[in-house]
Amino acid sequence: MSPVVVLKVHRFVRMVRVVMGRDGHRGDEGDRRQQEDEGPRVASSGSRHGLRVVPRWTGVKASSGRAGSGGAPAGPWLPGPGRSVTVECRERFAGQGISPLPDALEGAPCSPGPPPMSEAYEGSEKRYWNERIRGKDRYTAIGRRSLPETINRHRKVSLYGVIDAALEAVGLDLAGARVLDAGCGTGVYSEHYGASGAQVAGVDLSLEGLRATRRHGVPGAFAVASLSRLPFGDRRFDLTHVFSVLYHVVDDGEWRASLAELSRVTRPGGVLLMRIEWVESGSRVSEHVKHRPKDDYLGILTGEEGFSLAGVHPFRDVVPLQPAFALAHRVLPTTVSEGIATLVERFDLLGENRDQKVVAFRKG
């Protein structure tokens, strides 16, 4: 080991002792501002007709499959390999020169949608998330930027089991099901759904996120779109998945419109599966994070949008001694810090997230 590495390791050990003495028992929820590090983003696009970035669907893998649970129409609803079609609701964008939807995606007329947001707000959101993702590995880009990739990967992949258990509890079979990954980011969850036999569509505000999804060969069709203006006909999906996204929609009007859109594209009997804050009171945590009380979600989804609460599932993604792992990642060579980080994965050291839950709603 070179003298430089020895010096850095020695310095790291000394700094860890200081950190451990001060806040060694603080989990990664100890500083709630760090939630700004989480999640793929479909925060709020909504420029004029949502077309500032024209959403083009590029089929990475076509799949016709059988209908998902509950009998959604089967058929080649994803574009085939090499095909690229502009997908927008025909009724909403009539006269705008937008190509029609594939037949299997049209459905009932689209809702008119909310008024467009200011270009300044939209531009700042897109810049923020594109910069967040650009040049990062696919797990750190949507995780804790201060932690090694190994830990960020384990924190995301460990949620696959929670997702499967939640869907099993509501009787939804992923084989052939139509799944929307709303806020797909770099495709970490889309990849899981595709591997389980689902037909996956994903939208995200970040073009950089979708580029990463393509680079990793995630099966499905993906487009830049705002969560408050989804480019689908009504009642299209057996499962609408939205993880670590809605608390990044800090504008209350956009947040409410996003819930309405998620409801609109979910078929009757379908499931809305969310990773959201599940707390009694809300707070504005940072410029890009706003927590809302669980009663706000329940009031809108069960009171106005026709859902019933189908399950609340705890999960573990809190990293023990996070300041120490973050410090190692900052001051040590990458190979050394990643090696230390494998301890979290090898011994499955994650703790329960007390502020968030995976919550399932069923559409009436």
CATH number for the domain that contains residue 93: 3.40.50.150
Identify whether 306 is part of a domain: yes
> What domain range includes position 92?
34-320+347-363
The answer to whether 237 touches 74, Cβ cutoff 8 Å, is no
Identify whether 338 is part of a domain: no
Identify whether 98 is part of a domain: yes
Identify whether 313 is part of a domain: yes
Q: How far apart are CA 73 and CA 168, in angstroms?
A: 21
Tally of domains within the chain? 1
Rounded (5°) CA angle 7-9-13:
120
pLDDT at 14: 57
DSSP-based three-state secondary structure for 307: strand
Predicted confidence pLDDT, tens digits, the chain (364 residues): 565 554 555 555 455 444 444 333 323 333 333 444 555 544 333 332 222 232 333 333 323 333 333 333 333 333 333 322 233 343 333 332 223 333 334 333 444 444 555 556 566 778 888 888 888 889 888 888 899 999 999 999 999 999 999 999 999 999 999 999 999 999 999 999 999 999 999 999 899 999 999 999 999 999 988 899 899 999 999 999 999 999 999 999 999 999 999 999 999 999 999 999 999 999 888 888 999 999 999 999 999 999 999 999 999 999 999 999 999 999 999 999 999 999 999 999 999 999 999 999 999 9
Return all residues near 168 (Cβ < 8 A) that are at least 6 apart. Answer: none
- Cα radius of gyration (the chain): 21
Task: Scan for tokens 């084989």, then name that residue.
Answer: 175
The answer to whether 348 touches 159, Cβ cutoff 8 Å, is no
Strands 56-59 and 84-86: antiparallel
> Tokens at residue 80, please?
């085939």
pLDDT at 1: 56
Residue 79: C-alpha distances to residues 68, 75, 83, 178, 219 (Å): 18, 11, 6, 14, 12
The answer to whether 359 touches 274, Cβ cutoff 8 Å, is yes
Angle between helix 334-346 and 149-157 (nearest 10): 30
- What's phi and psi for 288, nearest 5 deg? -115, 10
pLDDT at 109: 40
Identify whether 244 is part of a domain: yes
Structure confidence by residue, pLDDT tens digits, 312-344: 999 999 999 999 999 999 999 999 999 999 999
Strands (E) in 186-282, as ranges, are 199-204, 221-224, 237-243, 266-277
> Tokens at residue 291, please?
């927590």
Q: How far apart are CA 177 and CA 180, in angstroms?
A: 10
Tell which residue, 31, 46, 44, has the closest CA to residue 288: 44
> Tokens at residue 85, please?
């079609």
Q: Quick check: pTM over 0.85? A: no
Rounded (5°) CA angle 162-167-168:
95
Q: How far apart are CA 250 and CA 246, in angstroms?
A: 8
Identify whether 284 is part of a domain: yes
Identify whether 97 is part of a domain: yes
> Tokens at residue 32, please?
């709630």
The answer to whether 237 touches 174, Cβ cutoff 8 Å, is no
Angle between helix 334-346 and 322-331 (nearest 10): 160
Strands 307-313 and 266-277: unpaired
pLDDT at 129: 81
The answer to whether 146 touches 38, Cβ cutoff 8 Å, is no
Residue 142: C-alpha distances to residues 125, 128, 137, 177, 244 (Å): 15, 13, 9, 25, 9
Is residue 23 classed exposed, middle or buried when 0-12, 13-18 and 19+ CB atoms within 10 A define those classes? middle
Residue type, 281: S
pLDDT at 23: 36
Question: How far does Cα 330 stand from its chain's mean position?
Answer: 26
pLDDT at 287: 86
Identify whether 167 is part of a domain: yes
> Tokens at residue 6, please?
């020895």
